Structure 1
Amino acid sequence: ARKLIKKFHKKIPKEEIINWLNAQNAYTLHKPVRKRFPRLHYIVDTIDDVWEADLIDLQKYKSYNDGINYLLSVIDVVSKYAFVEPLKNKSGKTVCAAFERIFEKGRKPRLLQTDKGKEFLASEVQKLFKQKNITYRTVRNPDVKAAIVERFNRTLKEKMWRYFSWSKTYRYIHLLDQFVHSYNNTRHTTIRMEPAAVTLDNAYIAVKNIEKSHEREDKKRRQPRMFKYKVNDYVRISKHKGVFAKGYEQNWSDEIFKIIRARERQALPTYEIEDLSGEEIDGYFYEEELTLVNKNIENEAYEIEQVLKTRGK
């Protein structure tokens, strides 16, 4: 787009060039996708309301650690309290048993969120969540994953790798509980408390400090942004490929959608969409997840790669 604008801007208005590009499939299907941008914060007011879970892949070090290939990490969004269970594999049966060990410690969430890993969707795991009356949710965008547990994973691995450097060995399993205990009993910079010290009675302090942290982040953002798109605009949605996906591959959906609502949430523009048959897509989309299609949709023929029962969040 920049090259065309630079070459023709003296002869053709910039807006006309952009409108022409937005009418070309070759452009709207393959234009780059922005993966990092401001997103909405959690709004949670007590402990054990929302947990996040993820797997840490440590297959590379299994020979040093009694055949352990993965760590199941789980974190409470408010208290930042973490649980970690070692796994020899990520079968539904193994992951289910690990969650059972965590729940046996006396805590469970109202809602548990993960990425779309098959291990969390296994029938044994889903059955356990239903038995415990836990609502399960996956994040729609695999580039984002579950941000809070991902941050904990990084902290845990920093502790482990410092130990690796000091001990000149990759064996960690005998110290795993100590690493987690150290984290849970160290003052967390966001809540300004030790995760292990947060209870139902004092959770409001952690919540207040989280809100202050969000306010500081929001102040760093620019003034509320103007809406880039408007109701009735036609758009494609990003295909959310992996972070290391090839840039030349198709980045945007073949299917085209229509914007039906534009709403500001936490000073960020968000959009709700429907498909061309009028079926509303669950959830909301950031402007970075949409790209404008500027053409006569009624005369456009295109292929829909596959039809999913649920395409939203």
Structure 2
Amino acid sequence: MADFTKLLDRLYNDPNSPSAYAGIDSLWREAKKTFKHIPRNVIKHYLEGHRTYTLMRQKRVNFKRSKTIAAGFMTDVQVDLADMQSLSRHNKGNRYILLGIDVLSKQVFTTPLKSKKSEDMLEAFRNLITQMPMKPHRIFSDKGTEFKNRLLKEYFEREEISKHEATHSTVKASLAERAIRNLKQRLYRYFSQNHKLNWIDILPKIIEGINKSYCRVHGMRPIDVNFKNAQKVWEKIYGNIFSTKNLKKPKFKKDDYVRISRDKGHFEKGYLPNWGDEILEVEKVKDHVNPILYKLRDDKGKNSKDPFMKMKCLE
């Protein structure tokens, strides 16, 4: 176990390591490159005795969402801001991290950001896109006003980048949000381990480690995905996603009347209404996707805020 501990200490505590401040399976995968038959429970036992891991163990809530489908390598990028305001005085006044993630390869790119002002956002996007192998065709973000300023709009038009945003869902740029959670998890474990609050200097190494770590979605390291193997990666991720064989029959059809469910938190009172008062009409059904989506309108012919809703409706 002593030899294992020395190896695991190096793999877990080095920010440049693919398994730095990561989970059990990631650390186990890297450890097996040195000790082929190291048991998984050795990794589990090691991490359960590691303060930074147990303090920040994840709690997962899973529910079905629509898939984000990329056209190809570096064609579609999701972006979001990681809020680091509480640590700004330790990081040269930088209050945010602008993060972008390629939807196909899952490769992550980041740049520090001092404020959400138009000029700072423009400079941050320039830095972010410079890091990428090519300019993306499309950039997706949430509805934050920082992504909609005039300077950015003009910049995207000049660079011929199509800018899209979420409409009304609770989860916005979900891949970027997940990447930020992973990044913050590694950063805060690094802070706890090294008794430092400086992220601006260690950020490139943390990102390098993330991009060198195994991605279970396509079974590769994000940095190993490129133009040559992009088609194989696409087929592995999405397969026959456009096949109509496994599609379910729509619950509602055009001109049906439905209600929309209320967004309720986990601890919201059970006696409160689960459904909205307003009766809406189904205008269009997208039955060639999974989950099936519905376009709704009210009695005045006005469409709902979401262009298409999942089957969270009630007749």
Q: 1:302 matched to which residue of 2?
A: none
Is the partner of 2:171 in helix, strand or coil?
Answer: coil
Q: 2:77 matched to which residue of 1?
A: 51
Q: 1:257 matched to which residue of 2?
A: 280
Residue 238 of structure 1: how far off its partner (Å): 5.3
* Structure 1 unaligned spans of 5+: 1-34, 216-222, 293-313
Alpha-carbon distance in 2 for matches of 1:115, 1:244: 23
Q: 2:300 matched to which residue of 1?
A: 277
> Map of 1:201-220 to 2, 5 A cutoff?
201-211=228-238
TM-score between both structures, scaled by the size of structure 2: 0.69
Query: Deviation per CA, 1:125-172, whole angstroms, max 9, x where unpaired?
Result: 111111111111111234111111111112111211221121012222
Alpha-carbon distance in 1 for matches of 2:85, 2:274: 31
Asked whether the equivalents of residues 116 and 139 of structure 1 are also in contact (C-alpha less than 8 Å), the reply is yes
Residues 1:165 and 2:192 aligned together: yes
May I ask how many residue pairs the two structures share in their alignment?
249
One-letter amino acid matched to 2:282: I
Alpha-carbon distance in 1 for matches of 2:147, 2:196: 31
Query: Whose relative contact order is higher, 1 or 2, with alpha carbons under 8 Å and at least 6 apart?
Result: 1
Residue 206 of structure 1: how far off its partner (Å): 2.0
Asked whether the equivalents of residues 114 and 137 of structure 1 are also in contact (C-alpha less than 8 Å), the reply is yes
Q: 2:6 matched to which residue of 1?
A: none
Change (3 A) 1:89 1:246: farther
Is the partner of 1:173 in helix, strand or coil?
Answer: coil
Residue 213 of structure 1: how far off its partner (Å): 11
Alpha-carbon distance in 1 for matches of 2:233, 2:83: 30
Residue 201 of structure 1: how far off its partner (Å): 1.4
Q: 1:67 matched to which residue of 2?
A: 93
Change (3 A) 1:250 1:140: farther
Is the partner of 2:202 in helix, strand or coil?
Answer: helix
Change (3 A) 1:277 1:245: farther
Residues 1:125 and 2:152 aligned together: yes
* Structure 2 unaligned spans of 5+: 1-60
Q: Percent identity?
A: 29
Residue 96 of structure 1: how far off its partner (Å): 1.1
Alpha-carbon distance in 2 for matches of 1:235, 1:186: 45
Residue 107 of structure 1: how far off its partner (Å): 2.2
Alpha-carbon distance in 2 for matches of 1:226, 1:172: 50
Give the counterpart of 1:231 among 238, 244, 254: 254
Residues 1:83 and 2:109 aligned together: yes
Residue 239 of structure 1: how far off its partner (Å): 6.8
**Aligned-residue CA RMSD (Å):** 3.0
Q: 2:166 matched to which residue of 1?
A: 139
Is the partner of 1:179 in helix, strand or coil?
Answer: helix
Change (3 A) 1:131 1:62: same
Change (3 A) 1:211 1:127: same
Residue 266 of structure 1: how far off its partner (Å): 3.7
Asked whether the equivalents of residues 247 and 288 of structure 2 are also in contact (C-alpha less than 8 Å), the reply is no
Moved more, 206-215 or 129-138: 206-215
Residues 1:93 and 2:116 aligned together: no
Change (3 A) 1:244 1:131: farther
Residue 121 of structure 1: how far off its partner (Å): 0.9
One-letter amino acid matched to 2:120: T
Query: Deviation per CA, 1:80-117, whole angstroms, max 9, x where unpaired?
Result: 11111111111122111100112233522111111111
One-letter amino acid matched to 2:178: R
Is the partner of 2:155 in helix, strand or coil?
Answer: helix
Alpha-carbon distance in 1 for matches of 2:87, 2:239: 40
Q: 1:107 matched to which residue of 2?
A: 134
One-letter amino acid matched to 1:181: E
Q: 2:311 matched to which residue of 1?
A: 287
Change (3 A) 1:142 1:258: closer
Asked whether the equivalents of residues 249 and 287 of structure 2 are also in contact (C-alpha less than 8 Å), the reply is no
Change (3 A) 1:253 1:128: farther
